[in-house]
Amino acid sequence: MHPEAPSDTIIQALVDPALTLDRSLNVLDANAAARDVFGWVRLRQHVSHTSRHPELTAAVADAQRLRQRRTFVLDMRTPLDRRLEGIVTPLNVEARADDQAAFLISLRDLTEQERLASMRADFVANASHELRTPLASLKGFIETMQGPARTDVTAHARFLDIMSQQADRMTRLIDDLLSLSRIEMRAHIPPSATVDLNDIATSVVAALEPQAMLAGATVAVHRLQGRATVRGEHDELVQAIQNLVQNAIKYGRAGGRVDVRIGEESPAALRSISISDDGPGIAPEHLPRLTERFYRVSVASSRDRGGTGLGLAIVKHIVTRHRGTLAITSSVGRGATFKITLPAA
Ligand code: ADP
């Protein structure tokens, strides 16, 4: 780096794509991120040899003509679909010699930001839709009880039963939404406590005993000989394992069998917990999408079982925060296995 060219060092130090041009609009310098965006940079040549995007060349020409900062948006197709926002800033142009930076082009990648914004919008739309359905049903029953069925006391008892189920469904949905947002808020903070997967599995299965009994399912825990300690947040791991065992009971065979197995993986620095059922399983085309929010193989069957479509999304978020992996294997008619692998403490 040359001490007489301080702008070069600044450009190279920037994380976002940036280029400097001399007063004739030839490229003087570009950083690695800019080379990445354009694929190449032609130094000492007019900027149009580096980027042919009309939005960029027009903004540069305007900045030169008007001596004013100009902004532009670039939609790139290659090498990847991305959208960038650019700013051309004149740097005291009059005072500059031929080999000095007279314009700065800085770029900011909007792709990720826009993807997140659209995900958020989709999520809000989905969540409102999920809440609106039970709400509409509640409203319908209230109106019926106020109107046509005002005096029908036997019908009232039946309606109130259904209304109570709908209210429960809304409560579950809100609980799951709150869990998801709590976990998301902590996504970047690695867990600091240590927990034993043997103990968590045993207590989760004990707590779900009544549910298993109702479904006539047998749930067996296969503990790891010795300790299965991982770095993890107790409550979050309980929730993840509980969601998986609950799913195995809900979607497994009536009177079926669920196995919860704690394992040691190779390399030995990993521990795992897998939950397998002997139910109808899941067709391969659904597997990659199961952890998406509100994704369900069958909406009706999920609703019948009190599902919200958020259980596996919560599991996935918890596992990601724990720097672990979630693997789902299944073949139709032969059950499903959900396996969480976590770094050992
Ligand atoms: P839900 O609240 O609908 O249970 P989840 O996110 O927990 O939501 O699960 C998403 C979908 O994955 C379920 O609706 C169901 O179709 C499918 N699924 C989950 N676990 C199993 C399993 N053990 N066997 C078969 N299908 C399953």
Tens of pLDDT, residues 95-133: 677 888 999 999 999 988 898 999 889 999 999 999 999
Pocket test for ligand 1, best of 169, 243, 258, 296 (most atoms within 8 A of CB): 296
Report the pocket of ligand 1 as residue ranges, CB < 6 Å. Answer: 243, 247-248, 251-252, 277, 279, 282, 290, 296-298, 302, 307-313, 336
Mean pLDDT for all residues in the chain: 92
Tens of pLDDT, residues 181-201: 999 999 999 999 999 999 999
208 close to 182: Cβ distance less than 8 angstroms = no
Report, as ranges of residue numbers, the positions in the chain whose pLDDT lies below 70: 1-9, 79, 95
88 close to 60: Cβ distance less than 8 angstroms = yes
pLDDT (0 to 100) of residue 9: 62
pLDDT (0 to 100) of residue 99: 83
Q: Ligand 1: which atom is nearest the Cα of residue 298?
A: 16
Q: Is 183 helix (H, G, I), strand (E, B) or coil?
A: helix
Domains, the chain, with CATH or none: 10-109 (3.30.450.20), 111-185 (1.10.287.130), 189-345 (3.30.565.10)
Question: What φ, ψ does residue 44 adopt, rounded to 5°?
Answer: 65, 10
Q: How far is the CA of 292 from the centre of ligand 1 (A)?
A: 11
Ramachandran assignment for 81, one of left (phi > 0), alpha (psi -120 to 50 degrees), beta (any other) = beta
pLDDT (0 to 100) of residue 8: 53
Pocket test for ligand 1, best of 251, 258, 294, 317 (most atoms within 8 A of CB): 251
